[in-house]
Structure 1
């Protein structure tokens, strides 16, 4: 059984395959296109995508965004331009280049591009913009700072709640009764996973009379273990090791490539610890960790990018914020893959019931980091 269902966002649907296409570095954009029958679109329409420093092959939100843009370009039978940022200093120049190249729609990937995106949008009011995982509200007044920027945000706490419940069930079955998490930067789009993860584990304890402990995050105080960035480096590995040293047998690394550091720390430990993926179905995106990936907490970034691109091509782009939820299938839990036959009896039915209760409002997943 899988909690994953066909994604339907913003009034359109698409099946996006897992394509690991690498873009060139920094200054030069890549192009993609196709020849399939397409919706009627402006012949001058040019969609563009700007990554954050994680790059297109991060097995996470950059890659998912690129897959969505590529799928839309193929469907429309046009070319798209994609600009890969090597570091934070590339954001503004890449956006400037996108404008100079004649881009009609510019989608930026991640909160770190927020300031540069708003500045570009204000300077180019006739262009459409969207940004992933950010409200484009840099003065924190509760409104988007430019009227032509569409936030694409996700209430990931809902899907993470299911992931936390599953993690607690797995650890309780093993007799370890300890799970953990750590993140990249402490920002809402990261902490929202950790909040949901903790709340789901607490729900398991409540329902089962269990005593599974959570390490690496305290939702009440909003404090926990973070690497300070999203690079898979020694700092990330040491941070993962610090949580593993608590004796956990399930670990949730939140922050793109840092899962690689978690996997390395687990390999060094020689223990049977499993991880949870984030954003994309990690067991599919990276086969090298499929054997330790219990399940993934996913955001349909690819579909949100696809649908925003199609709408912009048809002249129906709406800058109103989009919030992905379990109900609209903007967030979801993946299947369990090779672990399906090893799960506690009845777990998948319990998860399905919890999902329906969240959608109906009988359960409210309350995270201060939810959009």
Structure 2
């Protein structure tokens, strides 16, 4: 497995993907290994290393590895690949794109948030403005809007155009949370992987506010 940035213990896709491989090792007896990417330039080198070592299944984690995964999959048709949170259109014969209809889940989170908010304002923000992140946020907003339609309320969603530009900085997450709280949001759903841990810290410092986490159970 080749990780995205953030490390193997990112409490996001890297961590959950590795946990799945650990289960495969324990239950199926497969040999597993991972290489951590410290920067985007590491993606190609890490994939190459696994190919050179003879691994016949390589899992890459995250949309940022999409281009390199495609390149090496086309160059190595006998190697199977899977990529987390990304898929190709048209699909590649030796690549499995692992995606999830997350907007359906966040729709429910938005509906619940609209029913629980005391301020009439809820918030969200993204890490980087890419389709998988926007999909989370759009589903959340749709859930709030549906609650409003069904109950005659006017709950407002803040932060739909708010992206911190990364998936690593907990300081950015704290600032984003503090900004949304200052604007009146009492429920926040950060869609930024480990960045959300900083938002959680801001929520803990502000009694009466709540947070909806993503990717893993913090």
Indicate the TM-score class for this superposition, using the shorter chain for normalisation: over 0.9
1:92 aligns with 2:44: yes
1:275 aligns with 2:211: yes
1:160 equivalent among 106, 125, 129: 106
Superposition TM-score, scaled by structure 1 size:
0.57
- Paired with 1:104 and 1:74, the residues of 2 have a C-alpha distance of 19
- Paired with 2:33 and 2:171, the residues of 1 have a C-alpha distance of 33
8 Å contact 1:232–1:260 — kept in the other structure? no
Pairing 1:95-114 to 2, within 5 Å after superposition: 95-114=47-66
What is the CA-CA distance between 1:210 and the residue it aligns to?
Answer: 1.4
2:195 equivalent among 230, 249, 258: 258
Alignment partner, residue 95 of structure 2: 149
Superposition TM-score, scaled by structure 2 size:
0.95
- Paired with 1:94 and 1:243, the residues of 2 have a C-alpha distance of 38
What is the CA-CA distance between 1:232 and the residue it aligns to?
Answer: 2.5
Stretches of structure 2 that go unaligned for 5 or more consecutive residues are none
8 Å contact 1:182–1:243 — kept in the other structure? no
Alignment partner, residue 150 of structure 2: 207
- Larger Rg: 1 or 2? 1
Secondary structure of the corresponding residue to residue 99 of structure 2: strand
Secondary structure of the corresponding residue to residue 108 of structure 1: strand
Query: For structure 1, which segment, 238-247 or 251-260, has the greater mean C-alpha deviation from structure 2 after superposition?
Result: 238-247
Deviations 1:174-225 (A, max 9, x none): x3111000110011111111001000011111111112111001xxxxxx10
Q: Count matched residues.
A: 218
More helix by share: 2
Pairing 1:271-350 to 2, within 5 Å after superposition: 271-280=207-216, 282=217, 286=218
Bigger RCO (CA 8 Å, 6+ sep): 1
- Paired with 2:5 and 2:35, the residues of 1 have a C-alpha distance of 11
2:183 equivalent among 246, 264, 269: 246
Stretches of structure 1 that go unaligned for 5 or more consecutive residues are 1-48, 137-141, 218-223, 287-371
Deviations 1:64-100 (A, max 9, x none): 1111111112111232111121221211111011111
After superposition, the CA RMSD in angstroms is 1.4
